[in-house]
Amino acid sequence: MSHGGASMKDDVLTSDGIYPMRVVARLTGLSPDAIRVWERRYQAVVPHRTSGGSRRFSADDVRRLQLLRQATENGHSICAIANLSESELESLPELEAAPVKIQVQSESAIIDSSFEQICTNYVDAIRKFDIQKSYDILSRAAAVLKPIDFVLQIVVPVLRTIGNEWMRGDLELAHEHLASSQIKSLMCAMVKSATAQPGAARIVVATPSGHWHEFGAMIAAFMAISRGFQVLYLGSNLRNSDLIFACEKFQAKILMLSVLFHEDEETNKRLNTNLQELSKKLDVWVGLPETHPLTSTDTGAQYFSRYEDYNYALSTL
């Protein structure tokens, strides 16, 4: 099946999970010439070859090239780091930026198009109820991308697109449930594999009383976990007494609450009152739409309308 004039072989993620050069270039931000030089001269990666001699890269190869690119941007010479292990690459200190950084950054816009293509391919598969293909696309993206990129560049745009199409009547509720179940399954698996850093701040994540939509809270918890924080995820519709108890017992530094939708006036008033009460005892962060009426009130809580702002705040803890 074609999409926008592109054939199946042009999909960002190939059906057999092996990546051709054009895809690797998009996912890593490196030019094909740079990848070939790093392979031939330094044996940084050893891709498979097809019967016709074309290179085919694994997800591990792509991740390794991403780490190598990051290290060179941080001032390291490729000849000195090409044969380091993945864990050694991840622990390299940042040096004075190398001159190549400007050249590499000029190609970084290529990555954006690959994120968009992955999202498009995934939503198309969901639309056709192609369960295997949709899960394959999502799981390969999760394997290749950094956790924060997977969340901000894939999960958030996909949920937004599917939500908008459902509101317009272009997708059914069954489509939304299929995507939600796949994303939730993958994120839960990724959370289980993450480890908290020793002495890291503790964060309790939930939705407040009267709020049942927990995807925003799940994303907030995942982002904190991927940064090494110790996270207690409580789910949806938590009373103030339960939140306060959990924060005290868990010794949480931050209570992160998620509010996804505008509710009726009575529910918003209750939320305002609850946040004022919580903020007297806890350091409360709230993720909510920028158009939510609560953003114009002072409850003592800190508001975030963009995941990028929340991610930055986490980096300051």
Pull the structure tokens for residue 90.
């991840």
pLDDT tens for the 317 residues of the chain, in order: 333 433 333 344 444 457 888 888 888 888 888 888 888 888 899 998 888 888 888 888 888 998 998 888 777 778 778 888 888 888 888 764 434 333 333 333 334 448 888 999 999 999 999 999 999 888 888 877 777 888 888 999 999 899 889 889 999 999 999 998 999 888 877 776 667 778 889 999 999 998 988 889 989 998 998 888 999 999 899 999 999 999 999 999 999 999 987 778 888 899 999 999 999 999 999 999 989 999 889 999 999 999 889 988 998 88
Query: Domain 111-193, what fold?
Result: 1.10.1240
pLDDT of residue 140: 82
- CA torsion 79-81-85-89 (nearest 10°) is -150
Q: CATH 3.40.50.280 occupies which residues in the chain?
A: 202-315
How far apart CA 170 and CA 156 sit, in angstroms, is: 19
How far apart CA 80 and CA 297 sit, in angstroms, is: 54
Pull the structure tokens for residue 27.
């996912």
pLDDT of residue 17: 53
Cα distance from N-terminal residue to C-terminal residue, the chain: 48
β-partners of residue 287 are 258, 304
Q: Is 21 exposed, middle or buried (0-12, 13-18, 19+ CB in 10 A)?
A: middle
Q: Where are the beta strands (DSSP E) in the chain?
A: 48-49, 55-56, 202-208, 230-238, 254-258, 284-287, 302-304
CATH number of 8-107: 1.10.1660.10
Q: Where are the beta strands (DSSP E) in 158-248?
A: 202-208, 230-238
Q: CATH 1.10.1660.10 occupies which residues in the chain?
A: 8-107
How far apart CA 286 and CA 50 sit, in angstroms, is: 51
pLDDT of residue 225: 87
Which pTM value belongs to this model? 0.61
3-state DSSP helix/strand/coil percent for the chain, to nearest 5? 55, 10, 30
Q: CATH 1.10.1240.10 occupies which residues in the chain?
A: 111-193
Could you say which of 3.40.920.10, 3.40.50.1580, 2.40.70.10, 3.40.50.280 is the CATH number of the domain covering 202-315?
3.40.50.280
